[in-house]
Amino acid sequence: MTEALPVAVSFDAFTSIGFWTSVGIIAGTFTIFTLGLQLNVGFTGIFNFGQAGFMAIGAYSMAIFVTDTGLSFWVAMPLAILVTMAFALVVGLPSLRLRADYLAISTIAFSEAVRLTALNARDLTGGAQGIFGFTDAWESVSDTIEGWLVSLGWSDPERLFPLFIVVWVVALLLTFVLSRAQRTPWGRVLRAVREDEDAARALGKNAFSYKIQSLVIAAGLGAIAGFFLALNLSFIVPDEFAPTFTFLGYSMLVLGGLANYWGVAIGALIFEVILEGLRFVELPISDVKIAALRFVILGLALILLMAFRPQGMFGKKEEMVLGE
Amino acid sequence: MGAAGQPVMRGTGRLNTMRAGMEAGTVAAEREESPLTRLRESARDHPARTALAVLGLVVIVLIASKGLHEVAQRALNGLSTGSIYALGAVGLTLVYGILKLTNFAHGDFLAFGAYMAYIVNVSWGGPIVLGILFGMVATAALGVALEKVMWAPMRARGAGILQLILMSIGLALVIRYGIQYFAGTELRNLDVNRTDTIELLGLTVGRTQAIVIVIGFVTLIGTGLMLRYTLLGKQMRALSDNLDLAETTGINTANVIFWTWVLAGGFAGLAGVLYGATTQLQPEMGFELLLPIFAAVVLGGIGDAFGALAGGILLGVVIEWSTMFVDPGWKSAVGFVVLILVLIIRPQGIFGKARTV
């Protein structure tokens, strides 16, 4: 009888643990990604719209180190973080001197330049085919965790469940560390820079250096998010790193609320659950239309959120960077 | 409070005045300077002349290495995309200058115009001229409507930069995926002649490209004259310079803002149709055009309409020239490189003099 209904809701996958594991991994990856945006936008007042570019550099460097250079996965990751941070330094030095909107434009341009490089520098990045074959080291860790899960009494653990555990352990750990760092003198200077750069300078703080540090750390977080994205997909292709990823991160950021690290995880979770949950609403339209509709709703939500509750769920209005 | 209409970050207004004073001091102090510093000083004082000189030098080097015909042919190809960038850029820069809105949805305005023209031109089988007009009117109407429901209320509430940027990104998603919802992701073609070519001084150009160049240049020159000589144009530039001051002098700002959106939307629509006529329509086309348009805006000095016109044309030609040296797959990357280089070397643009970036 379901055919007769214009709108039907199917709960077949709703109870599937596999489905929710995937949603959880994506939300965890986005949490790490968006923590960097929170540090930049929420606490330093710099509009980094190139986070997807940093994530791409992190993921690609790691994959290239493992597959081409033959480095161990565990060495490749910290190296890739360093590479990404170096890029952030190069991007930040000229662009952080610019006004807020110029910075937004130039970081988007940077992120697109990275994606186009990934697409065109085929010898290094595999072009549109991307890179795969870097997951061996992770697979063995995953097997170990699966063994623990079995010994805990879960007879047939979900294949991706170990990744789910690790991504959330890392995400919560980073959230904890960052919110602690925010209460140090360093964190207070960041907020001073956000509130009034000139005043911070007048107090003898090198505001520019703090902005650079903020961007470099955010890039490192982007790289870590990139590793999890890569492990989740078990390959990487340029399309994954489009600016839309950054825009999604911003949506989660403002949903959770600016200047609140714990809000990031909650924003990411709610956002992903709603976005993926929309899959269960079966409309009598094609898949392309449904995919389009999800983004229309996302765009509308972003507009309404910014218009009526710019501080999000847990943000404080007095801590919003209003700019001029 | 910003000089020359550039908004400045909170509290830097006073600093700028100080900086300007200090600069006057240094100029006076550096009487006996080396020829190199003098060259640099004069380059800074005459940015447009310097840009022309650099461009001239590049052209000479290019002609010497690749031959006149090749360079001219590519420049001609570049003029077609360049005038499209310029049409997009002039609207974006006017909206930025007058409303201080960095509209990330502007690229999707172009896509909207192109699809509106498609409805008339292909779905209803009408002539392309009618399609162009409909695309322009529809996009202008979209711009005005959004001003009424979104931007004016947000300005009244004193919304911050981040709020406005994120709202425009939300809007961009709504337009782009709204188009995808109705039209799907497949590539679509406008009903225009794509095969005929025109020979001119030994150079070959597609008939459609030639028409694009002519329409683009006529519109751009018309816009330049309008901004320079008509009352509305002067009012627009006055608002762009200082909205509050313009209002106190009795300019009907609401009226100027209305016409700004009509112009920005209309030109975006026109640019979108022209782009669609020379390439193909797909929902992502707006975002692909957004960054080169931003680059053109920044190249010409953000908020500067004349600069945006020149910046767009220049960018189109430079990108086309770049294909003599790199794979065309890198084409859009060249746009970003130009954008980033300009932001590093001269963020106020080729013609800008303001130091508030």
Best residue in B169, B244, B337 for a mutation probing chain A (most A CBs within 10 Å): B169
> To the nearest whole angstrom, how far is the Cα of A176 from the nearest Cα of chain B?
26
- Is residue B68's pLDDT more than 70? yes
Measure B262 CA to nearest chain A CA, in Å: 22
Distance separating alpha carbons of residues A172 and A77, to the nearest angstrom: 19
Q: Quote the pLDDT of residue B6.
A: 43
Nearest CA in chain B to A196: B10
Q: Do B180 and A292 touch (CB under 8 A)?
A: yes
Quick check: B172 and A320 CB within 8 A?
no
Q: What is the pLDDT of residues B19-36, one digit of tens each?
A: 444 444 444 444 556 777
For residues A61-70, give the mean pLDDT. Answer: 92
B224 lies within 8 A of chain A by CB: no
Domain extents for chain A? 2-319
What average pLDDT does the segment A79-86 reach?
97
B160 — contact with chain A (CB < 8 Å)? yes
Whole-angstrom CA distances from A279 to A265, A273, A275, B176, B312 are 22, 10, 8, 20, 42
Select the highest-mean-pLDDT range: B48-57, B137-146, B278-287.
B137-146
Considering only CB atoms, B177 lies closest to which of A109, A120, A295, namely: A295
Contact criterion met (CB < 8 Å) for B333 and A99: no
Mean pLDDT in residue range A239-255: 91
Q: Does B124 touch chain A (CB under 8 A)?
A: no
| Conformation bin of residue B22: beta by default, left when phi > 0, alpha when psi is -120 to 50 | alpha
Q: Which of B101, B171, B173, B334 is the best substitution to test chain A (most A C-beta atoms within 10 A)?
A: B173
Contact of B329 with chain A, judged by CB distance below 8 Å, is answered with yes
| Structure confidence at residue A311 (pLDDT) | 82
| Shortest CA gap B45–chain A (Å) | 21
- Give the pair of three-digit tokens for residue B28: 């006076």
Query: For residue B176, which residues of chain A lie inside 8 Å, CB to CB?
Result: 295
Size of the A and B interface in Cβ pairs below 8 Å: 162
| Residue B4 backbone zone (phi > 0: left; psi -120 to 50: alpha; other: beta) | left
State how far residue B186 is from chain A, nearest Cα, in angstroms.
10
Q: Model confidence at A292, in pLDDT bands (50, 70, 90)?
A: confident
Q: How far apart are CA B138 and CA B68, in angstroms?
A: 42
Strand partners, A8: A282
Q: Judge whether B213 and B79 are in contact, CB under 8 Å.
A: yes
Which among A109, A298, A306 has the least Cβ separation from residue B340?
A109
Of A68-77, A275-284, B127-136, B161-170, the poorest mean pLDDT is in: A275-284
Q: Which of A100, A250, A302 is closest, CB to CB, to B161?
A: A100
**Among residues of chain A, what percentage have pLDDT more than 70?**
93
**Residue B13, pLDDT above cutoff 60:** no
What is the average pLDDT score of chain A? Answer: 87
Q: pLDDT by residue (tens digit) across A259-280? A: 889 999 999 999 888 888 777 7
Question: Which residues in chain B touch residue A278, judged by CB atoms under 8 angstroms apart?
Answer: none
pTM of this structure: 0.85
**Domain covering A2-319, topology:** ABC transporter involved in vitamin B12 uptake, BtuC (1.10.3470)
Residue A206 has pLDDT above 70, yes or no: yes
Say if the Cβ atoms of B357 and A98 lie within 8 Å. Answer: yes
The answer to whether the CB atoms of A288 and B10 lie below 8 A apart is: no
Residue B284 with chain A: CB contacts under 8 Å: none
Please report, to the nearest 10 degrees, the dihedral formed by the alpha carbons of residues B171, B177, B182, B185 taken in order. Answer: 150
Residue B159 contacts A, CB cutoff 8 Å: yes
Nearest residue of A to residue B172 by CA position? A299
Our CA-based measurement puts residue A296 at a distance from the nearest CA of chain B, in whole angstroms, of 4
Nearest chain B residue (CA) to A322? B160
Q: Determine, for residues A105 and B102 on separate chains, whether the beta-carbon distance falls below 8 Å.
A: yes
A317 vs B162: which has the higher pLDDT: B162
Residues B167, A113: C-beta atoms closer than 8 Å: no
Note whether B336 contacts A120, CB cutoff 8 Å: no
Interface test with A, best of B181, B288, B325 (most A CBs within 10 A): B181
Strands (E), B187-293: 197-200, 203-206
Q: What is the pLDDT of residue A155?
A: 77
pLDDT tier, B87 (very low <50, low <70, confident <90, very high otherwise) = very high
Please determine, for residue B92, whether its predicted confidence score (pLDDT) is greater than 90.
yes
Q: Does the beta-carbon distance from A41 to B159 stay under 8 Å?
A: no
* DSSP code for B116: H
Burial grade of A141 (CB within 10 A; 0-12, 13-18, 19 or more): middle
* Model confidence at B85: pLDDT above 90: yes
Question: A102, A288, A308: which to substitute to probe chain B, counting the most B Cβ within 10 Å?
Answer: A102
Contact between B167 and A254 using a beta-carbon 8 Å cutoff? no
Per CB-CB distance under 8 Å, the chain B contacts of A294 are 177
Confidence of residue B264 (pLDDT cuts 50, 70, 90): very high
Q: Right CATH number for B73-345 from 1.10.3470, 3.40.50, 1.10.287, 1.10.150?
A: 1.10.3470
pLDDT at B261 over 90: yes
Residue B148 has what pLDDT?
A: 93
Contact A102 B357 (CB under 8 A): yes
Distance of alpha carbon B10 from alpha carbon B16, whole angstroms: 12
pLDDT tens readout for residues B302-345? 777 888 888 999 899 988 888 888 877 787 788 888 887 887 77
Tens digits of per-residue pLDDT, B187-201? 888 888 777 787 777
